[in-house]
Amino acid sequence: MGNLLTIENMSIRHTGRLLVSGVSLSVTAGERVGLIGESGSGKSLTALAAIGLLPEGMTAEGSVLLADRQVIGAADRDVVGLRGTAVATIFQEPLTALDPLMRIGDQIAEVLRRRARRDGRSVSRADVATEVSALMARVALPDPVRLARAYPHEMSGGQRQRAAIAMALACRPSLLIADEPTTALDVTTQAEVLRLLETLVREENMGLLFISHDLPVVGTAVDRVLVLRAGELVEEGPVAEVFGRPRHPYTVGLVEAARAFDQAIGAAL
């Protein structure tokens, strides 16, 4: 089976300024890949370019193959069909991904109906309701029947992110892109959501592109990691290698800083 996502020598420009330069990466089924970078490194732009959603005025060059279809230069209507099937994305702030005026169950149901239309199937109300409940249970949302009637503002941050994950799963994507999915969450909630993602990716055999500034979080979420700095990849390899024996001075600095925080609490374990 081929790659779910293959980015080759991709650059992103904004009014002539080079924001991302010559990035290459790939994700296969069942593979968990991390993209690490600090603010301004271009990690989120890389994710947006991968799904053909770069902001106005930004242009990408090089090659982005999503399910073997070229995204760069493609017409939007050709890429729309890939979002959902080939790839689903969850972002840092689930509130921005959710419609504030719509009950959470209805939002998940909309994705399910859209998928059915796309597949040319007709589904009954009852079928959709059953599948909404099943998805909400899948992401460990408590009391799915009651919570399906809740609006986003009535849910906690962790519950909202679980709901966003449920919507992503509703598309049955082969690749999940998660851009700082736990950054807005409390540490105890973060640990739960990370465990959930790990389980889902493994059981659905999805590919995962996990984007974060947080080294320990990435270290627990993925097997292979790439380090992005000011738009350029400086290092990549298995987590154990990159975090255990970093080669690039920038990675060395990041790992040392992360270790300093770890060591301060290290006595606890």
Partner 1 sequence: MSLVDLTAVSFAYGRGRTVLDGIDLRIEAGRNLGIVGESGSGKTTMLRLLLGLARPSSGQVSFRGAPLDPGDRSFMRGFRRAVQAVFQDPYSSLDPRQKIADIIAEPLRSLKIATDVEAAVTEALASVDLPLDAASRYPHEFSGGQRQRIAIARAIVSQPELVLADEVVSALDLTTRIRIVELLKALSAKTTLVLVSHDIGFVALLCQDLVILEKGRIVEQGAARDILSAPQHPYTQRLLESTPRLPEFA
* Strand duo 5-14 + 17-27: pairing: antiparallel
Tokens representing 75 are 């017409």
Q: What part of residues 106-135 is at the interface with partner 1 (CB under 8 A)? A: none
Tokens representing 171 are 């598309």
CA 174 to chain centre: 12
CB contact at 8 A, 159 and 98? no
Of these, 2, 73, 216, 249, which contacts partner 1 (CB under 8 A)? 216
Buried b (16+ CB within 10 A) or exposed e, 42-60: bbbbbbbbbbbebeeebeb
Considering only 1-9, 94-102, 198-206, 251-259, which stretch makes contact with partner 1 by CB under 8 A? 251-259
Residue 88 engages partner 1 in binding (rule: CB under 8 A): no
CB contact at 8 A, 50 and 24? no
- What is the rounded CA–CA span in Å between residue 139 and residue 197? 9
Least separation, in Å, of the C-beta of 161 and partner 1? 13
Q: What part of residues 126-185 is at the interface with partner 1 (CB under 8 A)? A: 157
Residue 239 engages partner 1 in binding (rule: CB under 8 A): yes
Least separation, in Å, of the C-beta of 225 and partner 1? 11
- What is the rounded CA–CA span in Å between residue 156 and residue 67? 34
Least separation, in Å, of the C-beta of 167 and partner 1? 23
Considering only 72-80, 86-94, 140-148, 252-260, which stretch makes contact with partner 1 by CB under 8 A? 252-260
Considering only 26-34, 98-106, 167-175, 212-220, which stretch makes contact with partner 1 by CB under 8 A? 212-220
Residues engaged in binding partner 1 (CB under 8 A): 38-39, 157, 186-191, 194, 213-217, 219-220, 239-240, 243-245, 253-262, 264-269
